[in-house]
């Protein structure tokens, strides 16, 4: 087997496991959006509400698969291997920023949108893509921190799942994001102190 075949096999395996992991992690915050979409599709009477809802979910996971491919490509970058504390610290700073608040607001708004449920199946697909892109943007800092500490670490996955779900579903998601950011900054500083 050539090196190229081995690398492409490793990339495919990573993206597959990443997509499954993200499906599990995002399900608590995605399920309400899919349920609202499904109910709106039933109310609109356009037919095949289950298929349309499945298209939204598939498009959403497709976006996370692309993000996984990018994460795999970045995984070879020395910065993620040599300075996980700096990545966690930067992720915390991003969580505290107005950029994060804006992305979270857009993600929460997309999760509540139901207009695609009354249109053609391709509109459901576009709705899933839009929801996925806004979710990936909103979760960028938490995803980077997860990658820095180990994407397959069960404790880190549970913490990231809780943080994502809480900032999406809590009445004041921005406050949750800021609290998570403060926690990440503290964790990053602690990690730096341990490596010094």
pLDDT, tens digit, 9 for 90 and up, residues 106-119 = 888 887 766 555 66
Sequence-ordered list of residues with C-beta below 8 angstroms from that of 120, at least 6 positions apart, any chain: none
Compute the distance between CA of residue 13 and CA of residue 8 in angstroms, rounded to an integer.
9
pTM of the model: 0.80
Helices (H), the chain: 3-44, 49-75, 78-82, 84-95, 98-112, 121-138, 140-149, 154-169, 173-195
The arithmetic mean of pLDDT across residues 125-142, rounded, is 91
Residue 55: its pLDDT value, please? Answer: 92
Q: Which of 7-11, 75-79, 87-91, 112-116 has the lowest mean pLDDT?
A: 75-79
Angle between helices 173-195 and 140-149 (to 10 degrees): 30
Range of the domain at 191: 3-195
Compute the distance between CA of residue 70 and CA of residue 72 in angstroms, rounded to an integer.
5
User: pLDDT class for 127, splitting at 50, 70, 90?
Assistant: confident
Check whether 79 has a pLDDT greater than 80: no
Check whether 3 has a pLDDT greater than 90: no
**Domains identified in the chain, total number:** 1
User: pLDDT class for 78, splitting at 50, 70, 90?
Assistant: very low
């Amino acid at each position: 087997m050539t090196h190229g075949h081995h690398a492409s096999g490793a990339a495919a395996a990573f993206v597959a496991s990443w997509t499954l992991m993200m499906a599990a992690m995002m399900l608590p915050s995605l399920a309400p959006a899919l349920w609202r979409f499904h109910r709106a599709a039933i109310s609109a009477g356009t037919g095949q509400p289950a298929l349309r809802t499945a298209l939204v979910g598939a498009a959403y996971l497709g976006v996370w698969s692309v993000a996984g491919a990018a994460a795999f490509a970045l995984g070879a970058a020395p910065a993620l291997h040599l300075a996980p504390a700096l990545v966690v610290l930067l992720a915390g700073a991003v969580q505290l920023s107005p950029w994060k608040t804006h992305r979270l607001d857009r993600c929460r708004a997309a999760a509540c949108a139901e207009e695609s449920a009354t249109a053609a199946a391709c509109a459901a697909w576009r709705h899933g893509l839009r929801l996925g892109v806004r979710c990936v943007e909103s979760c960028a800092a938490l995803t980077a921190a997860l990658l820095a500490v180990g994407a397959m670490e069960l404790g880190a996955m549970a913490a990231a799942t809780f943080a994502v779900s809480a900032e999406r579903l809590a009445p004041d998601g921005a406050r949750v994001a800021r609290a998570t950011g403060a926690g990440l900054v503290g964790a990053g500083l602690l990690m730096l102190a341990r490596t010094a």
